[in-house]
Amino acid sequence: KVPGLKLPGIEKVAVIKVTGVLTFEEYSLLGSTISARDYIELIKQAKDDPTIKAVVLRVDSPGGDAAASEALYYAVKELAEEKTVVAYIEGLGASGAYEMILPSHYVMAGESSIVGAVGVYSTVITMKELMEKLGVKVYVYKSGKLKDLGSPYREPTEEDEKVLREIVEDMFETFKSRVLEHRGEVS
């Protein structure tokens, strides 16, 4: 880009490559990870640039955090209200990555691509027995029964499990309704 250079009549197509796990965290065990915030900023720049007429999202992602995927969904939805958006799944466009591209005008994928995996899951890891073997005790003081929901320092109660299942089901219903709105079917 040359500062101040404007070429009249030149229209551009922006290409944004979305790879890896979608998360707001900026860590990785094997190399660098781009945060969902970075992708959102690139999408916003493409939306705000009047010379960009269309955006191609090149996707190779297993999805990721529900919050990051949802934020990206809304960013793509806003973009698609103003510009043509084409999503191309190069390898993997699953779960939250699929949710992100739902508002795209066109979704394409290679024959060997894996697309979809409409669903939500939550993981709770407990270390209670390990901590006991190590002689470590954890004391938790909380303002309500569910304040430490998902704590690794204790086993989940029946009430914890019920609440976590309800959260997962609510998130799934939202995801499923978005698929139906934008793509017309859920499999």
Q: Give the CA distances from residue 181 to residues 27, 99, 100, 168, 177, in Å, rounded to whole numbers and listed in that order.
A: 33, 11, 13, 20, 6
Amino acid identity of 106? Y
Q: Which two tokens stand for residue 78?
A: 């806003």
User: Which of 61, 69, 95, 104 is the catalytic position?
Assistant: 95
Sign for the CA dihedral angle at 155, 157, 163, 169 comes to positive
Backbone angles phi, psi at 110, to 5 degrees: -70, 160
* 104 given a catalytic annotation: no
Asked if 81 and 115 count as a contact pair (C-beta separation under 8 A), the reply is no
Asked if 156 and 108 count as a contact pair (C-beta separation under 8 A), the reply is no
Q: How many CB atoms lie within 10 A of CB 69?
A: 23
User: Which of 12, 147, 162, 177 is the catalytic position?
Assistant: 147
DSSP 95: T
* 142 given a catalytic annotation: no
For the annotated catalytic residues, the residue numbers are: 95, 147
